[in-house]
Amino acid sequence: MLSIDLSNRLAVITGATGQLGRVMAMVLSDCGANIAVHYNSNAAKAASLVEEIRAKGRRAAAFQADITDAESIGHMHEEIVKELGNPDIVVCNAVIQYEWTNVIDQNISDFYSQFESCIMHNVYMAKNFVPAMKEKKYGRYIAINTECSALAEANCSAYTAAKKGLDGFIRVLAKEVGEFGITVNEVAPGWTISYRDREAGSEKQEQYDKTVPLRRRGTDLEIAQMVAFLASDLASFTTGAYIPVSGGRVMPGI
């Protein structure tokens, strides 16, 4: 019987206090992983999440960083290594939120913020955390992309452009570090049901749901389960992959 076993692995998750991040943290810890909880501003939520993870018998600690700042991520890396050790698993989940509109009306600053939070965020994380993975010849690097990068729908130009750039970066990284036993993959969620939807009762979105072959939105748990799979040895021969978790709304061609 197959099972996802992350016992004695250490994962760092950026944006771990966010809607998807906190579920990823809980699922990976359920699989046995210790967790470095990254947050930007919500220290209280990070502390609460750390306590939940520790209650399962896992090691966990919270670390603050600005994902768009190289020095900040470098400092976070130092603190994580000092307190928990070198991570085996990196999950780059954080992204800057902004108001979507058409290209003509989109604020120029939004294009820069998306580039920084989608691409440079991953550049900084890779530069800091991948070298130790290369030394031990093992690692799992997972970036959270989006169905938007494949669909390129209206009113999400800044997000789509940045996530497409992320895809290129991840594919190159996968080729560069594969010989060291490191896999590098992307999980691409569709419009996902999270805590916020459950609280608001907005799980069903009829106009969107009818565009999904499975006729529903995915859940935060379903996204986290794919992350856990890619973080495990069950996915040891999968790298450079862009994996939609979108109910069939995105079907990459060959």
**Cβ neighbours for 206, distance < 8 A, ≥ 6 positions apart:** none
Residue 210 lies in a domain: no
**Mean pLDDT across 70-84:** 98
What is the number of other CB atoms lying within 10 angstroms of the CB of residue 172? 12
The pLDDT value given to residue 2: 85
Is residue 1's pLDDT more than 90? no
Q: Which of 39, 124, 159, 242 is catalytic?
A: 159
Percent of the chain with pLDDT over 90: 98
Greatest Cα pair distance, the chain, in angstroms, is 54
How many folded domains does the chain comprise?
Answer: 1
Q: From the CB of residue 2, how many other CB atoms can be counted at a distance below 10 Å?
A: 6
- Using CA atoms, how far apart are residues 197 and 45, in angstroms rounded to an integer? 18
* Average pLDDT over the chain, rounded to an integer: 97
Q: What is the rounded distance in angstroms from the CA atom of residue 77 to the CA atom of residue 85?
A: 10
Within a domain: 254: no
- Of 143, 193, 183, the C-alpha closest to 163 is 143
3-state helix, strand, coil in the chain (%, to 5): 45, 15, 40
Express each pLDDT in 22-41 by its tens digit. Answer: 999 999 999 999 999 999 99
Q: How far apart are CA 17 and CA 22, in angstroms?
A: 5
| In-domain check, residue 199 | no
Is residue 61 scored above 90 in pLDDT? yes
Q: Is there a catalytic annotation at residue 141? A: no
Residue 4 covered by a domain: no
254 confidence band (pLDDT: 50, 70, 90): confident
Average pLDDT value for residue range 85-105: 96
Cα 102 off chain centre by: 26
Range(s) of the domain holding residue 94: 10-190+222-243
Q: In the prediction, which pLDDT does 143 show?
A: 98
Residue 96's pLDDT is 94
From residue 119, give the alpha-carbon distance in Å to each of 56, 101, 196. 33, 21, 26
Kindly report, residue by residue over 209-237, the tens digit of the pLDDT.
Answer: 999 999 999 999 999 999 999 999 999 99
Cβ neighbours, 10 Å, residue 99: 9
pLDDT value of position 206? 96
- 23 to 27, 31, 144, 223: CA distances (angstroms): 6, 12, 14, 9
**195 in a domain, yes or no?**
no
CATH number of domain containing 63: 3.40.50.720
Structural domain includes residue 217: no
